Amino acid sequence: MSNGSVEGKPPLSVQPGELRLILQALRSDILQDVDTKLLKGIDRLVMELELKYRKPQNGVAEKPSPPKGRENPKELPPKEFITRNSTLTNLWDNAHLRSVYNICLALFVLLYLNITIFYFLNVQKLKKDLAMVFWTFGQFHIVTAIWFAINLSIVFVLYPTFRFWANTRLFVKQKGLYDSLFCVLFILYETAFLVIPARIIIVYNLPPVSSFTVLAEQSRLFMKTYAFVRENITRALKYKPHQDGDKEDSDSGPCPEVEKLIYFLFVPTLVYRDNYPRTSHIRWSYVAWNFLQVFCCIIGAYIPCTYFIVDTFNKIGNEPIPLVNFMGTLAMSIFAGGILMFLVFYGMFHCWLNAFAEMLRFGDRMFYDDWWNCTSFAKYYRSWNMVVYDWLYSYIYRDMYVVLGRSRTGAMLTVFLISAIIHEYILAICFKFVFPLLFILFSTFGVILVFITRRQTSSFWNVFLWGSMFQGWGLLTVFYSLEWYARINCPRTLDSWLDYVVPRSFHCNVISLSS
């Protein structure tokens, strides 16, 4: 053992370069573990401090709340806002996951170069596809006019009416009748809020993307106006005038200032609060990068829409698709639907919302959670789009939980029904026909899978969830495309309103059993 060996074995030799790589990997793993535990600890500490020391919300002084953040132990806890990053923002700090992001970015650059070369060699195809793009985004001046009209109606019609009611109800003897009158006016306003933009879309026959833009903004602002009134009605009903010696600030009156409403209209949340956690400054480079990524996602979505949907289905009604080819199209739809799913999620829920959050210094950026790790559909529905989920939880689920005698199942089914109706409303007005496939998938199979996977934790159910998502997006892509082109190429057989609700692809020669 004079040469350093043990029991005659040669000494362990490690080259300096190999040792450096081993130590770097060890350092990365240790830092990742510490970073994860530290972030969880900080989030938990901040949430506990927020619950303990939070300021009164909506001008109503709050009593010390129980440990779970609710005044009544029978009530569900309210939504809490804390300063935190989006899940992917934290994950990108990991070197390994950052490499996955870089791989996707490199693939997109190569794909963009490939498309550029293809269109350079095929100018006629470029002109044809650009014409389709310009048509899809057409009549955008009408979209802009509708958007301005909706926002102006909120600031100059809804807000003054609500403020007048909140400030004068104390001086009215018949408060019940007065409150009922305001409630009726608010219902009429919300009804007009839904009907008028939809009517304009149909009358002017806006193309799909323009229609979807109007309907998405209409739905977003509808939920925001409901949240604003729903939160501040309680404030107005509980309000009592201050005595002569008391000081009354703007946050303790029966109605918040209009500046708070305007900020709420643009901030990326649908749950109203007088104050939100704010960041110290704006990183304009971060804003620009997120908007650039949104643009890249739009280009990425253009590829499956053009090469899969248009080129595959544009002859529907003119010549039937052989059944064998149709089954192959269904299989390929999984790929196209999966691409669209990822691009919608990343472009909208991460890039778009983070860009606006940064511009408005909005601190709570938990717009989604790690839905890709879910093994149950209930957790997936809560994690995929937390912005809408928070609204449904705060204003539908919690209220129905009380109305239905603390029934979580009844409240959940109500949320599913309302969500399915809203999704179907958007698609029906956007495409100018009713094809309730999404409603059926959402309100039936979606609910059934919630109960089936409720307590499942094995990785098999994560694989099952991924397969269901891909198949669901694929089915929606195929059958809505079939109906769209069937209505373009097939003659109209019904002259009444039934033509709007009866799928034309059912009686149009779409699929041929012969090969």
- Rounded Cα–Cα distance for residues 438 and 423 (Å): 8
Mention every residue, 6+ apart, whose C-beta is less than 8 A from residue 439.
420, 421, 423, 424
Residue among 96, 242, 281, 423 flagged as catalytic: 423
Q: Which token pair is 64?
A: 């010390």
DSSP-derived secondary structure for 315-372: TTTTSPEEHHHHHHHHHHHHHHHHHHHHHHIIIIIIIIHHHHHHHTTB-B--S---GG
> What element of type H or E holds 419?
helix 408-431
Q: Cβ–Cβ contacts within 10 Å for residue 107, how many?
A: 11
DSSP 8-class letter at 12? P
**Spatial separation of the C-alpha atoms in residues 1 and 10, rounded to whole Å:** 10
Element (H, E) at 280: none
Report which residue type is found at 92.
W
Assign 6 to helix, strand or coil: strand
Tokens representing 507 are 């009686």
Q: State the virtual CA torsion across 51, 56, 57, 61 in degrees, nearest 10.
A: 120
350 belongs to the catalytic site: no
- State phi, psi for 432 to the nearest 5 degrees: 70, 25
Beta bridge partners of 512: 322
DSSP 14-64: --HHHHHHHHHHHHHHHHHHHHHHHHHHHHHHHHHHHHHHPPPBTTBPPPP
Chain-centroid distance of CA 165 in Å reads 33
Q: How far is CA 453 from the centre of its chain?
A: 23
Catalytic residue IDs? 423
